[in-house]
Chain A
């Protein structure tokens, strides 16, 4: 690897209509290194790896493998070169088990003209034994935990010898323990001389895990080097371009929702509340008696999901209550039950009153919900970005209060304001959410509820895949909503986020509340201990697990 690096991308350019997703992206990868690719939402990371995987053809620029210029004209040819991809959204077939998923797109082993199920399984078992011995092979992907699905994707990637595995935000939906597992696998791959290109917004993880980094901003490489020569803060500065505010050349060509100018001055600390800009509320914000009163805004006493699960708690105005637990503890089902989207047993009360049935009844009482799975539960791709933003409370946008016909101008104004507030990067408010980068889709999902009186906000992984800057903004919004007298219930697997935002933390284990932590008792160690304490066998380090 002395003269020519294993893989080099030179000045890649990729347009989508008027959007310049890549605008001179360079990347140099050494064999066997763990290389971080970082950048804000919409910086072009996913586009870059989709170009490398042959899904997109670059408009300009070169890709060189072992010093030789190559062209990658489809996923098959990338595969043949030993390049493997784990894309940002999980891409398993839900009703296929691990074995069937691992073989999709590969030449199956055969007996005569027919596929040989036993040989298929044996091969997958062999690969899995090396990296994830406890991964169930016969369960459909739909019934695996997010961590297991990630493992299944990695197993699929390693079915044949690989020279490079690209992982696009693999840890964004994993809990601590699961992320650790994944890091171990990455280190193991690197030790076996397989390079890893690792995309993540969790910068601490990047600093821990990676040897080298490349920073993309507005589709262009703005920094690269050895991780040991930089720091978390250095990466953040490069990503946001704090020092080089307003770089005209680096913008995406249609910064519809203002971007660079403002960014230069904005703080990017994830924990800082950003002063809310003037913001047109379709209705004035609700300043209820709750702001000072001590009556709980939300009281719940209910069974949900699997039999035997039962929780009972109350949230007072102004509180942000964090909900933590291992994967499978029931956080998401609890939120969905409170939201009325899945049936539960028991009662919830909002400001002392039982809300009407289903989500509509909750919305009418000022409840809001941001679901976990943006692709499946969140966004309607057949509607435009602005229509998605207005969807949850269409009646707020009526031109005439008595006629149920939304005003396009009002929706547009709301979309502009929300977009600016969350710094949504999009080609235009009338485009499909499918054209947004992953982090921007998350912002869209959250933005839906802004500018609306909220009494109770339920959020499930509010900042999954969101860059540090936008994370700060989303956190700021949540704090503002709480400060307005609302109750916020937040499920997150990101412990930093949990500790930074929560006034109180409820720990869920197997459908029951096992701990309530606040004040001095609210520490990282206490949270983790409570989540794991009752199930020590779920947290064995990989080396102690048997196949």
Chain B
């Protein structure tokens, strides 16, 4: 029972994989499909890892999907103006970091609830994105070299999967193995205690929000690279799914705290469900319905038996 509660999310993932494998051994259970799933989950997982940082603080960043869309459009606009690839990438990431830092500053310095601050600021970013794009999809002038960052394979592994692996390792180390990570958990666990021992609470919060936005920006770049075009609401679907992934992952390893490995498991659950249901030919409205129900069920299972404490 304790095991189930503690590693419930992992069991859930295993169970879901098992069900789909039995239902469709030829299509779902193959190596190439599993690799395909890692590619399908990569952008979601990258955004979700960013959200994890902010969730560790006990805050939310609801502007992530706006930043994803913005990054995609900003990159496309710069390419249309003939700016070289490295400059575009750096400029877009810097802009994303600045946006995150602003949200973080509002939350940390002025104690604006992060829900409101990032919701409002995300709306501002959304407006900016529409302004740049005139509300239209942008696809001219995106160089092939850039597009390769979001598609194709390297030594048999899809490039987006490699981005995910790199991001996951870096941020896992950052959260789990550095003082910065410990400070974030400490601030999230007891803000007053963190302040009393003199932790740089505000600075760390701003950095966490900035990193979260940076990852959303990266996901936006990769999205544009993969599609070869950018749409002003291209990142719209990531917000809810990213937080669903973080919540799903919260029991996976640490004591109910958000963590990078947990978030990976959560993102994998979401990706596997969507992949499996598509293979089984389930219509997309039913897919949404089932995905939502499964996430709810997982979170409910996790909360069962917790009343006691």
State the A residues within 8 Å of B (CB).
53-55, 74-76, 79, 85, 87, 89, 91-96, 100, 103-105, 107-108, 113-115, 140, 142, 305, 342-343
Query: Chain B interface (Cβ within 8 Å of chain A)?
Result: 173, 177-179, 182-183, 185-186, 189-190, 192-199, 254-257, 307-309
Contact between chains at B197 and A75 (CB < 8 Å): yes
Given contacts A342-B307, A343-B307, contact A95 B189 (CB under 8 A): yes
Given A79-B198, A104-B182, A113-B178, the answer on whether A95 and B307 have CB atoms closer than 8 Å is: no
**Docked complex Cα distance between A142 and B192 (Å):** 16
Of A92, A105, A113, most buried by chain B (CB within 10 Å of CB) is A105
Give min CB distance, A234 to chain B, whole Å: 33
CA gap between A79 and B308 in the complex, in Å? 38
Could you give 27 example pairs across A and B, Cβ below 8 Å?
A: A55-B196, A75-B197, A79-B197, A87-B196, A89-B192, A91-B197, A93-B186, A93-B190, A93-B194, A94-B189, A95-B185, A95-B254, A95-B255, A95-B256, A96-B186, A96-B189, A104-B183, A104-B186, A104-B193, A104-B197, A105-B198, A107-B179, A114-B177, A114-B178, A115-B178, A115-B179, A342-B308
A92 touches B190 (CB 8 A): yes
What residue in chain B is nearest A103 (Cβ atoms)?
A: B182
Q: A305–B190 contact, CB under 8 A?
A: no
Q: Nearest CB to that of A87 among chain B residues?
A: B196
Measured in the bound complex, the distance between the Cα atoms of B196 and A87 in whole Å is 8
In the complex, A95→B56 CA distance in Å? 12
CB–CB A115/B198 < 8 A: no
Q: Which of B178, B192, B257 contacts A95 (CB 8 A)?
A: B257
| Residues of chain B lying within 8 A (CB to CB) of residue A103 | 182
CB distance from A435 to the nearest CB of B (A): 14
A87 CA / B192 CA spacing, docked (Å): 11
Contact partners of A104 in chain B: CB under 8 A: 182-183, 186, 193-194, 197, 199
Bound: A89/B179 CA distance, A? 25
Tell me the bound Cα distance from A442 to B193 in angstroms: 21
User: Chain A residue with minimal CB distance to B181?
Assistant: A115
Decide: B190 and A91 in contact? CB cutoff 8 A.
yes
Please give 17 more A-B residue pairs, beta carbons under 8 A apart, in addition to A95-B257, A105-B186, A105-B198.
A54-B198, A74-B198, A79-B198, A85-B196, A89-B192, A91-B193, A92-B190, A92-B193, A93-B185, A93-B189, A93-B193, A96-B186, A103-B182, A104-B197, A107-B179, A114-B178, A343-B307
B contact residues around A343 at 8 Å (CB): 307
Instruction: Give Cα A85 to B195, complex, Å.
Output: 13
- A431 to chain B minimum Cβ distance, whole angstroms, is 17
**Residues in B whose Cβ lies below 8 Å from that of A85:** 196
Task: Give the distance in Å from the alpha carbon of A53 to the alpha carbon of B194 in the complex.
Answer: 14
Complex Cα–Cα for A305 and B308 (A)? 7
Q: Closest Cβ of chain B: how far from A157's Cβ, in Å?
A: 10
A114: chain B residues within 8 A (beta carbon): 173, 177-178
Q: Give min CB distance, B194 to chain A, whole Å.
A: 7
- Residues in A with CB closer than 8 Å to B309 are 142
> For residue B254, which residues in chain A have a CB less than 8 angstroms away from its CB?
95
What chain B residues lie within 8 Å of A113 (beta carbons)? Answer: 178
Closest 10 CB pairs of A and B: A75-B198, A93-B189, A105-B197, A91-B193, A114-B177, A76-B198, A93-B190, A104-B186, A95-B255, A93-B186
Is the CB–CB distance between B173 and A108 below 8 Å? no
**Which residue of the partner chain B has the closest CB to A97?**
B255
Q: In whole Å, how far is B49's beta carbon from the nearest beta carbon of chain A?
A: 18
Residues of A within 8 A of B185 (CB): 93, 95-96, 100
CB distance from A42 to the nearest CB of B (A): 20
CA distance A50 to B255 in the complex (A): 32
Determine the distance from Cα of A87 to Cα of B190 in the docked complex, in whole angstroms.
14
Supposing A93-B185, A96-B189, A100-B182 touch, asked if A75 and B196 sit within 8 A by C-beta, the answer is yes
* Residues of chain A with a CB closer than 8 A to B177's CB: 114-115
Identity of the chain A residue whose Cβ is nearest the Cβ of B187 in the assembled complex = A93
Q: Which residue of B lies closest to A116 (CB)?
A: B177
B178 partner residues in chain A, CB cutoff 8 A: 113-115
Contacts of A75 in B (CB 8 A): 196-198
Most buried by A among B198, B257, B308: B198
Contact partners of B199 in chain A: CB under 8 A: 104-105
State whether B190 touches A94 (Cβ < 8 A).
Answer: yes
A93–B58 CA distance with the chains assembled, in angstroms: 13
- Enumerate chain B residues within 8 angstroms of A55, measured Cβ to Cβ: 195-196
Give the shortest distance, in Å, between B52 (CB) and chain A (any CB). Answer: 15
The minimal Cβ–Cβ distance linking B261 to chain A, given in whole angstroms, is 16
Task: Please report the C-alpha to C-alpha distance between residue A142 and residue B198 in the assembled complex, in whole angstroms.
Answer: 22
Chain A nearest Cβ from B292, distance in angstroms: 29
With both beta carbons as reference points, the residue of chain B lying nearest to A77 in the complex is identified as: B198
Give the shortest distance, in Å, between A209 (CB) and chain B (any CB).
25
Smallest CB separation, A25 vs chain B (Å): 20
B3 to chain A, nearest CB (A): 18
CB distance from A74 to the nearest CB of B (A): 5
Give A126 to B182 CA distance when docked, in angstroms: 21
A153 to chain B: closest residue by CB: B193
Complex contacts, A74 vs chain B, CB 8 Å: 198
Q: How far is the CA of A108 from the CA of B180 in the complex (A)?
A: 10
With a cutoff of 8 Å between Cβ atoms, the chain B residues found around residue A95 in the complex are 185, 189, 254-257
B179:A108 contact, CB within 8 angstroms: yes
Chain B residues within 8 Å of A100, by CB: 182, 185
The interface residues of chain B lying within 8 Å CB-to-CB of A142 are 309
- Contact in complex: B182, A115 (CB < 8 Å): yes
Chain A residues lying within 8 Å of B194, measured Cβ to Cβ, are 93, 104-105
Residues of chain B within 8 A of A140, CB atoms compared: 255
CA distance A5 to B189 in the complex (A): 39
Contacts of B308 in A (CB 8 A): 305, 342
